[in-house]
Chain A
């Protein structure tokens, strides 16, 4: 599958003849240092396991208490969704929508799309729209802000730690696990390699899109 291929560095357009890489190796652009591609061991099954794990944990984190806050005997418990939409009064609706998109919907769509592409590549024939889905995945990537949300939670804890007792719910643990799985997915994912899979699956079946 790894035949020698030319590619232009995405960042500086330098033409690079990609050497044949074996598992565990990576190639960087000699001019600008951009990571061109890397070969991770068992990349397909790893990606499938990690992204389904991430999706599962994200799904679970919606159902249980997320955080709770106790001050002078008054307790307030919020779910993940509440912690996002409580801000959304009047003019802040757009902020709430933005938070919902960047912390839940975009990661969920990304992970689902990833699984779709992986299944499609495993399948005898590519599923419809595989290339389009893969294209969309890389467009979505910068807009996933789940890890920033997690840091935001930790900062708020420090801010109010002196005022009240705060505790983490089951959903919080689940959300943290989701972020860890997502980070591992992104570390395994390689744009060039995943496109090679789609490309060669296509050629084998003789249907160039």
Chain B
């Protein structure tokens, strides 16, 4: 993956085999500017930010936010996300209802995008973060590398659940023809926005370095570290 001059690769591999982390060497990495500071420093010698090795309360906050998002997931998917008024008749549609309509109209790719972004991604994100918290709390090894990939995926895809809220906003803006045809936002738009925000903050709060904690404690741990 990386492009290194050959002698530099050897230099990096030495660290890899011993799993020396910054905290094992009594060093804090400044979360703001990435400068290494010694444990004695309270503030970063480079940028002056307050230092802490592992995010304090990271786990409790993540779990609290996860519980909130599980609660929000229910109204987000059961309440209507928008109301369509057509010739005086008002119909409510939920996210899932919208997906089914799109599917029946033959817009399969769009139906899939909405289904994945609005229904699968939030629940996958909640499950992934719960699994990561469980792995960290129980302190079992599992696969660090896989857990780590899971974390990065979680961080990357979470924001995309917002897409349906944007769709509703645009439809509401465009389709305003009075009683003939108009679209109004539904309560689920609110729940969805809140859901995305809480899962995003949960992912940001979760300190990904905790995943590697068991390896750091046992330097000779035989986990699956290196692919080849």
In the bound assembly, the distance between CA atoms of A32 and B114 in angstroms comes to 31
* A156 / chain B contacts, CB cutoff of 8 Å: 166-167, 170-171, 174
* B95 / chain A contacts, CB cutoff of 8 Å: none
Q: Is the CB of A148 within 8 A of B35?
A: no
| A13-B29, A191-B34 known, 18 other contacts, Cβ within 8 Å | A11-B148, A11-B208, A14-B19, A16-B12, A25-B3, A30-B15, A32-B145, A33-B145, A83-B170, A84-B169, A87-B173, A138-B32, A145-B162, A148-B163, A152-B163, A158-B107, A159-B102, A195-B34
Interface string of A186-201 (1 = CB under 8 A from B): 0000011001001100
Known: A13-B29, A14-B20. A83 touches B2 (CB 8 A): no
Q: Is the CB of B47 within 8 A of A209?
A: yes
A123 adjacent to chain B (CB < 8 Å): no
Classify chain B's interface size.
35 or more
A207 adjacent to chain B (CB < 8 Å): no
B173 and chain A: residue at smallest CB distance: A86
A95 adjacent to chain B (CB < 8 Å): yes
Q: Is the CB of A160 within 8 A of B171?
A: yes
Within 8 A of A (CB), among B33-59: 33-36, 45-49
In the bound assembly, the distance between CA atoms of A15 and B26 in angstroms comes to 11
Interface string of B169-191 (1 = CB under 8 A from A): 11111111100110001010110
A120 adjacent to chain B (CB < 8 Å): no
* A14 / chain B contacts, CB cutoff of 8 Å: 15-16, 19-22, 212
B156 and chain A: residue at smallest CB distance: A142
B11 adjacent to chain A (CB < 8 Å): yes
**Interface of B (DSSP majority class):** helix
* A153 / chain B contacts, CB cutoff of 8 Å: 166, 170
Q: Is the CB of B27 within 8 A of A86?
A: no
* B174 / chain A contacts, CB cutoff of 8 Å: 67, 69, 76, 78, 83, 156, 160, 166
B193 adjacent to chain A (CB < 8 Å): yes
Q: Is the CB of B20 within 8 A of A155?
A: no
Q: Is the CB of B189 within 8 A of A76?
A: no
A99 adjacent to chain B (CB < 8 Å): yes
B155 and chain A: residue at smallest CB distance: A142
Binding site for A on B (CB under 8 A): 1-5, 8, 11-13, 15-16, 19-25, 27, 29, 31-36, 45-49, 98, 102, 105, 107, 110, 113-114, 144-145, 148-149, 151-152, 155, 159-160, 162-177, 180-181, 185, 187, 189-190, 193, 197, 200, 204, 208-209, 211-212, 216, 225-226
In the complex, 27 of the A-B residue pairs with CB atoms within 8 angstroms, ordered by the A residue number, are A8-B36, A11-B208, A12-B144, A12-B148, A12-B208, A15-B27, A19-B11, A31-B19, A33-B149, A76-B176, A84-B169, A86-B173, A87-B169, A87-B185, A95-B185, A98-B197, A131-B32, A131-B46, A135-B33, A152-B166, A153-B170, A155-B110, A156-B167, A158-B107, A160-B171, A195-B34, A208-B45
* A209 / chain B contacts, CB cutoff of 8 Å: 46-48
B21 and chain A: residue at smallest CB distance: A13
A48 adjacent to chain B (CB < 8 Å): no
Known: A27-B4, A199-B35. A94 touches B193 (CB 8 A): yes
Q: Is the CB of A155 within 8 A of B114?
A: yes
